């Protein structure tokens, strides 16, 4: 059991690592495709990643401590087993089953070869369920058989090649029974999938809700924040590539210019779209048509930049505002830094509370920068 727990624990650690780097891209994908972040769609996707990692680690772990596995194996070590259903022969030979005595049938299950065979049947059973969910309209039993066999063959090839040449000799047995049981398990999973998937919202239900969201045109707060994040990341990448990012003054000027272009000039030209809003499939719209776009967007840009500007200003003061302790102005500098730290803390607390209120409020709330500018976010009609 330690082998299985180690593989699962490793899969959890890797999943957390993957989730850390893919959470934002996945959220962008979901809002772009559906207009909302579906809990069940996200659950199925990340559970599939966890399952795939667990299955793979169960196949390759534990790894040998040395690369030269040939040196620690005897010359007669068997690396493959090519007799179909040999596990049944092993169980029947060593289980002391008397066919005329039903009470001895339990020995079949108790045999040491039964549990590995049963686990090989189960290991690809979830794959059939996932394939039914992801490819329900196009996946057939025949195609599921091919997919299950291919995945199982990949596992067995990984074993017989010593993790593709990393180890000099195979450290796991290539077993044709594993191919048979893995493939059978995937097909069984595909056949029983409707029973399991009945507990989850179907793809059709998710798309139906998506159509309603896009038709209503109401953009939730989180995709608005994601759009701003996309714009910021793009500007940050450009600045880091072409400017000296270690100089806070250069960083302040270049980021300010970049965000001015992306958050003011671009939506001014496109009448409400930035790169981020374009990716998230919505655009900004004025609440009061009489107001000019330039005034509204300029207010929004100033409101967005103000907290960030305070943090950048503190960075500059911290880096260049150094005085000798005997200087007449030393205490003044210390008070300035203390005030800036307190101001930073206050801004963070206020922004966090504001964002949480907007995110969790049942009634539609607007971010301070949109409310000040008189701008709302609205989905474009999506072509299906």
Classified as helix, coil or strand, 377 is strand
- How would residue 289 be classed by pLDDT, with cut points 50, 70 and 90? confident
Average pLDDT over residues 224-231: 93
Query: What whole-number distance in Å separates Cα of residue 89 and Cα of residue 107?
Result: 14
Indicate the average pLDDT of the chain: 87
Question: Tell me, what's the pLDDT at 1?
Answer: 59
Question: Tell me, what's the pLDDT at 381?
Answer: 61
Query: What whole-number distance in Å separates Cα of residue 173 and Cα of residue 184?
Result: 19
Burial classification of residue 242, based on how many CB atoms lie within 10 Å of its CB (0-12 exposed, 13-18 middle, 19 or more buried): exposed
pLDDT digits (tens, 9 = 90+) for 248-273: 778 888 889 999 999 999 999 998 89
pTM of structure: 0.82
pLDDT digits (tens, 9 = 90+) for 123-158: 999 999 999 999 888 889 999 999 999 999 999 999
Higher pLDDT, 239 or 94: 239
Question: Tell me, what's the pLDDT at 321?
Answer: 63
Statement: residue 15 has pLDDT above 80: yes
Token readout for 297 is 């967007």
Considering just the CA atoms, what is the radius of gyration of the chain in Å?
30
Q: Which of 292, 306, 295, 315 is nearest to 259 (CA)?
A: 306
**Residue 219 DSSP symbol:** P
pLDDT digits (tens, 9 = 90+) for 155-168: 999 999 999 989 99
Token readout for 24 is 């934002």
Strand pairing category for 282-286 and 375-379 = antiparallel
Average pLDDT over residues 58-85: 87
Question: Tell me, what's the pLDDT at 384?
Answer: 44
């Amino acid at each position: 059991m330690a082998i299985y727990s180690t593989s699962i624990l490793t899969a959890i650690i890797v999943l957390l690592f993957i989730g850390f780097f893919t959470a934002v891209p996945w959220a962008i994908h979901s809002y772009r495709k559906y207009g909302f972040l579906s809990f069940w769609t996200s659950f199925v996707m990340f559970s599939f990643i966890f399952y795939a990692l667990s299955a793979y680690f169960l196949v390759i772990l534990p790894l040998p401590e040395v690369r030269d596995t040939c040196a620690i194996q005897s010359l007669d070590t068997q690396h493959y087993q090519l007799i179909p259903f040999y596990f049944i022969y092993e169980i029947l030979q060593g289980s002391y089953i008397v066919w005329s005595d039903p009470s001895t049938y339990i020995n079949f299950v108790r045999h040491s070869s039964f549990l590995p065979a049963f686990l090989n049947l189960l290991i690809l059973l979830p794959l059939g369920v996932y394939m039914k969910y992801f490819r329900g309209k196009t996946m057939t039993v025949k195609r599921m058989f091919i997919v299950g066999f291919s995945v199982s063959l990949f596992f067995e090839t990984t074993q017989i090649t010593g993790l593709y040449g990393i180890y000099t000799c195979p450290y796991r047995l290539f077993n044709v029974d594993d191919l048979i049981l893995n493939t059978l398990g995937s097909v069984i999973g595909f056949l029983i999938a409707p029973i399991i998937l009945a507990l989850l919202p179907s793809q059709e239900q998710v798309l139906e809700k998506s159509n309603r969201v896009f038709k209503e045109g109401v953009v939730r707060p989180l995709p608005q924040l994601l759009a701003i994040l996309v714009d910021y990341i793009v500007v940050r990448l450009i600045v880091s590539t072409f400017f000296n990012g270690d100089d806070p003054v250069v960083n302040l000027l270049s980021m300010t210019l970049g965000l001015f272009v992306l958050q003011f000039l671009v939506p001014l030209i496109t009448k409400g779209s930035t790169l981020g809003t374009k990716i998230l499939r919505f655009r900004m719209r004025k609440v009061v048509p009489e107001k000019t776009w330039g005034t509204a967007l300029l207010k929004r840009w100033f409101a967005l930049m103000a907290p960030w500007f305070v943090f950048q200003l503190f960075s500059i003061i911290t880096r260049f505002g150094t005085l000798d302790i005997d200087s007449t102005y030393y205490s003044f500098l210390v008070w300035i830094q203390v005030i800036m730290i307190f101001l930073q803390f206050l801004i963070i607390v206020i922004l966090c509370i504001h964002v949480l209120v907007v995110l969790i409020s049942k009634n539609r709330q607007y971010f301070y920068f949109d409310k000040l500018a008189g701008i709302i976010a609205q989905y474009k009609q999506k072509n299906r």
